[in-house]
Amino acid sequence: MPEPIVAVDRITKRFSGHTAVDALSLSVAPGTIYGLLGPNGAGKTTAIRMIMNIIVPDEGTVRLFGAHGTGRDQSARIGFLPEERGLYPKMRVLDVLLFLAETKGVDRRSARIKATEWLERLGLADWRMRKVSDLSKGMQQKVQFISTVLHEPDLLILDEPFSGLDPVNSQVLRDTVVEWGRRGKTIVFSTHIMEHAEKLCDNVCIIARGKKLIDGPLSAVKQTHGGRHVAIAFDGSGGDSAAAAVLADRTLVAKANDYGQYAELELAPGADAQEILRRLVGAGVRLSRFEQVEPTLTKIFIDLVGPDAARAAAVPETAHA
């Protein structure tokens, strides 16, 4: 196994009274798209800030690129998009990009070439001499995204990259992330929107209230929590009451959600899907659909953090250093 790009070892951060991140460990392999998932206030931003060495963990260590030293020492290889976006409102778009590239150690000349390329690509070429404050919020987000990737970092750390973007720009950004991933770059991003994570990530880590609940490759996570769901639909020619009797058997079915067109069954522990099928057919129920389904990430997420999420939301995520 190659050395992880990001190796976080039991980092903990406490803010007056509450623990924002509690002994969190994670490891991001090179070339993966890694989703850091969690409800509001789970400690995602705090964890990312610690990875970036913007705040120092109370306990634990962060290693980037297998090297000692902080994110700042490696800043030329890292692109960071913080949760709270911001640019200099009075500066010209191109100047902001040049300046931010300079702080990453890129010389102005090549920064100018790359910035122009990117601006053209994201449809902002006409705006490069305009003041940032003249741009719409979505355009500013794009400019900020350019500043994150301009120096062609090996590792992208994006905190809630999709928040505040309309569907079109959100798609542009998703495409860019996917393309970046194909080029062998490593991407860590946080989100509380599971659909995004489901589409993009090959690895996920779900945290709630500062603690890790599960992590690993998306397929493995789904497997661990999957295979326990069955979708069924009747062809409508009767036998509903017979079916109801089978579904009411708590040794087989833990929970049944009737969606109208079809019903989703959650198997009871130790139950076999084939047994249900046999019983239904045996009872004379006519089925138009019987399918073992993979749970969506949303489902896993809600199952895992559901009860916790509501409580944790009371704690503001923008933690105080």
Partner 1 sequence: MRKTFAVIRREFIERVRTRWFWVGTILGPLLMAGLIGLQVLLAGRKAGDRSIAIVDATTTGFGQQLTTQLGSAIARFHVTRIPHAPSTPDSLLGEVEAKHLDGFLLISDSTLEFGTAEYRGSNVSSVADMEQLEGALRRLVFAARLERRGIDTLLVQQAEIRIRLATHKVSGRKLTGESGTQSFLTGFGMAILLFVAILIYGVNVMSSVLEEKTTKIVEVLISSLRPFELMLGKVIGAGAVGIVQLTVWIVSAKLLSGASTRLGPGGAGGFGSPGAAGGFQFPQIPTTTLIIFVLYFLLGYFLYAAIYAAVGAMSSTEAEARQAQVPVQLLLMIPYVSFFGILNDPNGSLAVWMTLIPFWSPIATPVRWGASPIPVVELVASLAILLVTVVVVTWVASRIYRVGILMTGKRPNLKELVRWVRAA
163 burial level (CB within 10 Å; 0-12, 13-18, 19+): middle
Q: In the bound complex, what is the minimum distance in angstroms from residue 191's beta carbon to partner 1? A: 18
What does the longest C-alpha to C-alpha distance in the chain come to? Answer: 76
320 lines the binding site for partner 1 (CB under 8 A): yes
Single residue of 69, 105, 164, 284 touching partner 1 by CB under 8 A: 105
Of 73 and 275, CB closest to partner 1: 73
The beta strand positions in 186-272, using DSSP E, are: 186-191, 203-208, 211-217, 229-234, 253-258, 263-267
Structure-block tokens of residue 140: 């500013």
Integer Cα distance of 207 and 214 in angstroms: 7
Helices (H), 104-234: 108-121, 137-149, 167-182, 194-200, 218-225
Q: In the bound complex, what is the minimum distance in angstroms from residue 52's beta carbon to partner 1? A: 5
Of 1 and 321, CB closest to partner 1: 321
169 lines the binding site for partner 1 (CB under 8 A): no
117 lines the binding site for partner 1 (CB under 8 A): no
189 lines the binding site for partner 1 (CB under 8 A): no
Of 32 and 45, CB closest to partner 1: 45
53 lines the binding site for partner 1 (CB under 8 A): yes
Strands 6-15 vs 18-28: parallel, antiparallel or unpaired? antiparallel
Taking residue 225's Cβ as centre, other Cβ atoms within 10 Å add up to: 18
The site map against partner 1 for 58-97 (x = CB under 8 A) is -------------xx--xx-x-x-x-xxxxxxxx---x--
- List of residues contacting partner 1 (CB under 8 A): 49, 52-55, 71-72, 75-76, 78, 80, 82, 84-91, 95, 99-100, 102-105, 147, 318, 320-321
